[in-house]
Structure 1
Amino acid sequence: MKILHTADWHFGKRLYQTDLLEDSRLFVDWLLKKIQELEVDILLVAGDVFDTTNPSSDAMQVYYDFLKGLVATGCQLVITGGNHDSPAVLNAPREILKLLNVQVLGGACENCLDEILPLPDRSGKIGAAVCAVPFLRDRDLKRSVEGESFEDRRLAIRFGLERRYAQQYEEGRRLYPDVPLFGMGHLFMNGSATSDDDEKLHTIGTLDLFEASLFPPFDYLALGHIHRPQKIAKKDTIRYSGSPIALSFSEIKDEKLVIFIETEGKEITRIEELRVPVFRKLERITGTFEEVEAKLMAYTRPEGALKSLAEVEIREEHRDPALADRAKVFFLTFQQGDIQVLNWKFRFSQQLRTADELFGESTALTELTPKDVFDQWLSENAATDESKVLLGEAFHELLNGLN
């Protein structure tokens, strides 16, 4: 069998109020061509199809256009929900999608064994199986106990995760003993390397203690949630595929991938990283105002790519009101067909830290998310790590409830 592992598509993502839907469209067009070229049997998407729990109609259109194109290839699809996804939104067309060989698990099943799925090849013969575990919230793993300590709660959730995967692994091996058994998960693994954007993702506070050794020995574990592609515990068979497009400026240097896996009989015979083309360049441009101005005016985007997006930092020795006014006029009137400046700020070497620098000089309120503001408040006001985690989780639940 031929299987592709990907995750963290984040359809509907906006970067400083600029949407990345065209980037997403180009990615799924490339993915469909790659599926046809390689004659892929199964596509595994490990969470965060959408960037918000209430995706726009345009984001939904990209999703449904992809599904329509995938059905034409004969490839089957397994999708698990991520922390950004609404289980209800993903599950709404589930019964219809089953008829098209698309399996969707938007949220945790009441019986976790219902998340074990056979994976037939194009001839209908079962060539693998998967324990398709979506993003698990606290309530999926345990119930609150009055008087329970913070550490007890952390350990109980970790044990709940370990037990859930162990139960599925044991049943999966019993049901499908003669084929490779895959696992899927959308969670934070201890030791994973994150990008700035990953730091804004909600994770259960206990998951910093969840390590590769706590998973049962799946033949391959397809992970989502972290945007930087990587192996865990230096194992080829435990991987984050990462996001297929750059979702923040901290991902500029990341090579975006999907993972190609080939099986034969009971064995995985091939694991290969397939590089996703760069559809749009993200640039960080620094220097004095004159240097920045010259770089922007001379910039040429790569041939065939979408207009580049930039963060700009102007570095000067002293604060100069006249220069600040000149910069504001420049960026308000800046027109260059190859690059768009999304955010710019000054940084002065001879300057004490001011309140402006909490979020960056010249950062507008519209460029900050509610979580950005809350996280800054939390870092300065929460007394303990425990209170930071508890308040952070409570804020996330409230925010999701408003979406």
Structure 2
Amino acid sequence: MLHTSDWHLGQSFFTKTRKDEHQAFLSWLVEQVATQGVDLVIVAGDIFDTSTPPSYAREMYNQFIVQLQQTGCQLLVLGGNHDSVSVLNESRQLLAQLNTQVIASTALPADQQVVEVHNRQGEVAALVCAIPFVRPKDVLQSQAGESGLQKRQALGEAISAHYHDIYQRAVDKKQQLGQDIPILATGHLTALGVSTSDSVRDIYIGTLEGFAADGFPPADYIALGHIHRPQKVAKQDHIRYSGSPIPLSFDELGTRKQVVLVEFEQGRRVSVDTLQVPLFQPMAVHTGTLEQLAESLQVYANASQTVWLSIEVENQDYLSDLQSRIQTLTEPLNADVLQLRRARNPRREALTRQSKESLHELTPTEVFDKRLDMEVFEGDEERQRKARIRMQFKQVLSATQNPEEAS
């Protein structure tokens, strides 16, 4: 079984299209499926970057499915928080004829969320609890008068109950088949105890900020999506995020991209390996003074492929012509500067500006607001994220100051 997720087909990256990168990845993926003899590919959500993907992204998705079927491999596609349920469902019945199961939402009947995996002889070789991104309305009815903490607990319990319900159906089906086969599970959410990256847009499932790993059922492998950094959950080798196949933000460059390859024999997991995904588009981050940048950027003078750059300038003096200076530095290079920013002032300087204030004179909200103001939130999406963070803090503060209401 090969586990991948968070393709984000159709993404625009600082006005640059990722079409060529995604096409290169999908071609590479088909090659790996054929070479490794993969029987099942799981895509754990966020196939598309937006709910209205461009036509070329839909075409790329459909072409991949056609090419994959030439290998004899089965495909399971799960909906993510970026995916439109209607967009994924519009071709669901057609793709079922191409050995592809699409589970766009948990609104499907529960029995349809247990997917059979067949081997090359047509026999059932595994069962998958195919759970996509969970929308609150599909698993929970909100109750009037509930506190924020009660809503979080109720939603977490509802998601866990849904997982265990689907898992029990898989167990029952396994017993009916009378075969020793593995049971897998999927998910597209934030599990507690993982590290995120700048490109991960916060999932707020109602008021649930994270799902505890002990809420998962005892499946033989749990394929997760949404977090772009590949990692294990709760130090469990069989609960994993595969991560995104291409860097979706500059801060992801420090982590090698991968897909996860899991092998089963006689119903038991025998190995969990990773395959590193090539970097199809050169990208780099450079930080330093203008003098240091002038020297370090020379490595791109004879680059064979255009490099996308994020540059952070550390000059202490404010330079009104910073953009033109960087443009002059990079003009003779085979490089495009996609992100240019000034190094933020040290946090200590921000605190010094308010040295007349002592901590005991400030309310918790004032302390939090001052700390939040030290971060940079650019663009409408980031400002909305800032508002959500502030709202979440208010909920936590309220629960702390009024424990009798939260209990």
The answer to whether TM tops 0.5 is yes
Q: Which amino acid aligns with 2:294?
A: E
Given that 2:221 and 2:238 are in contact with CA atoms closer than 8 Å, whether structure 1 keeps it comes out as yes
Query: Does 2:249 match 1:248?
Result: yes
For residues 350 and 39 of structure 1, the distance between their equivalents in structure 2, rounded to whole angstroms, comes to 52
Query: Does 2:341 match 1:345?
Result: yes
2:312 aligns with 313
Given that 2:79 and 2:133 are in contact with CA atoms closer than 8 Å, whether structure 1 keeps it comes out as yes
What residue ranges of structure 1 are gaps of 5+ in the alignment? 361-367, 389-403
SS of the residue corresponding to residue 384 of structure 1 reads helix
Given that 1:130 and 1:184 are in contact with CA atoms closer than 8 Å, whether structure 2 keeps it comes out as yes
SS of the residue corresponding to residue 89 of structure 1 reads helix
Q: Which amino acid aligns with 1:317?
A: Q
1:127 equivalent among 125, 128, 150: 125
1:210 aligns with 211
For residues 120 and 387 of structure 1, the distance between their equivalents in structure 2, rounded to whole angstroms, comes to 51
Given that 2:306 and 2:335 are in contact with CA atoms closer than 8 Å, whether structure 1 keeps it comes out as yes
1:81 equivalent among 79, 82, 105: 79
Question: Mean Cα displacement is larger for which, 244-253 or 265-274?
Answer: 265-274
Query: Does 2:184 match 1:191?
Result: no
TM-score relative to the length of structure 2: 0.84
For residues 226 and 348 of structure 1, the distance between their equivalents in structure 2, rounded to whole angstroms, comes to 26
Q: What pairs with 1:71-220 in structure 2 (closer than 5 Å)?
A: 71-177=69-175, 178-198=180-200, 200-204=201-205, 206-220=207-221
For residues 199 and 186 of structure 2, the distance between their equivalents in structure 1, rounded to whole angstroms, comes to 22
Given that 2:189 and 2:211 are in contact with CA atoms closer than 8 Å, whether structure 1 keeps it comes out as no
Size of the alignment, in residue pairs? 373
* Distance of aligned partners of 1:42 and 1:378 in 2 relative to their CA distance in 1, 3 Å threshold: closer
Residue by residue over 1:58-86, the C-alpha shift from the partner in whole angstroms, topping out at 9 and shown as x without a partner, is 21122122112112111110001000000
For residues 193 and 273 of structure 1, the distance between their equivalents in structure 2, rounded to whole angstroms, comes to 19
Give the drift of 1:209. Answer: 4.8
Give the drift of 1:349. Answer: 5.8
For residues 75 and 113 of structure 2, the distance between their equivalents in structure 1, rounded to whole angstroms, comes to 14
What residue ranges of structure 2 are gaps of 5+ in the alignment? 354-371, 399-407
Q: Which protein shows a greater Rg?
A: 2
For residues 345 and 248 of structure 2, the distance between their equivalents in structure 1, rounded to whole angstroms, comes to 30
For residues 374 and 86 of structure 1, the distance between their equivalents in structure 2, rounded to whole angstroms, comes to 21
Given that 1:316 and 1:348 are in contact with CA atoms closer than 8 Å, whether structure 2 keeps it comes out as no
Residue by residue over 1:259-316, the C-alpha shift from the partner in whole angstroms, topping out at 9 and shown as x without a partner, is 111112221122111111111232111111232233334326876xx53211111111
SS of the residue corresponding to residue 10 of structure 1 reads coil
SS of the residue corresponding to residue 130 of structure 1 reads strand
SS of the residue corresponding to residue 314 of structure 2 reads strand
For residues 209 and 87 of structure 1, the distance between their equivalents in structure 2, rounded to whole angstroms, comes to 22
* Distance of aligned partners of 1:204 and 1:15 in 2 relative to their CA distance in 1, 3 Å threshold: same
1:239 aligns with 240
2:366 aligns with none
Given that 1:280 and 1:308 are in contact with CA atoms closer than 8 Å, whether structure 2 keeps it comes out as yes
Q: Which amino acid aligns with 1:122?
A: R
Q: What pairs with 1:219-230 in structure 2 (closer than 5 Å)?
A: 219-230=220-231
1:384 equivalent among 381, 394, 397: 394
Q: Which amino acid aligns with 1:313?
A: E
For residues 202 and 129 of structure 2, the distance between their equivalents in structure 1, rounded to whole angstroms, comes to 24
TM-score relative to the length of structure 1: 0.85
Give the drift of 1:256. Answer: 0.8
For residues 101 and 211 of structure 2, the distance between their equivalents in structure 1, rounded to whole angstroms, comes to 27
SS of the residue corresponding to residue 73 of structure 1 reads coil
Given that 1:315 and 1:349 are in contact with CA atoms closer than 8 Å, whether structure 2 keeps it comes out as no
For residues 222 and 318 of structure 2, the distance between their equivalents in structure 1, rounded to whole angstroms, comes to 52
SS of the residue corresponding to residue 227 of structure 1 reads coil
Q: Which amino acid aligns with 2:183?
A: L
Query: Does 2:278 match 1:280?
Result: no
1:395 aligns with none
2:25 aligns with 27
Given that 1:187 and 1:203 are in contact with CA atoms closer than 8 Å, whether structure 2 keeps it comes out as no
Give the drift of 1:12. Answer: 1.2
Question: Mean Cα displacement is larger for which, 263-272 or 94-103?
Answer: 263-272
Given that 1:189 and 1:212 are in contact with CA atoms closer than 8 Å, whether structure 2 keeps it comes out as yes
* Distance of aligned partners of 1:152 and 1:314 in 2 relative to their CA distance in 1, 3 Å threshold: same
For residues 73 and 100 of structure 1, the distance between their equivalents in structure 2, rounded to whole angstroms, comes to 11
Residue by residue over 1:344-395, the C-alpha shift from the partner in whole angstroms, topping out at 9 and shown as x without a partner, is 12337699669998648xxxxxxx542112223555687604699xxxxxxx
Q: Which amino acid aligns with 1:21?
A: K
* Distance of aligned partners of 1:75 and 1:300 in 2 relative to their CA distance in 1, 3 Å threshold: farther
Give the drift of 1:228. Answer: 0.5
* Distance of aligned partners of 1:39 and 1:209 in 2 relative to their CA distance in 1, 3 Å threshold: closer
* Distance of aligned partners of 1:193 and 1:358 in 2 relative to their CA distance in 1, 3 Å threshold: closer
Give the drift of 1:48. Answer: 0.3
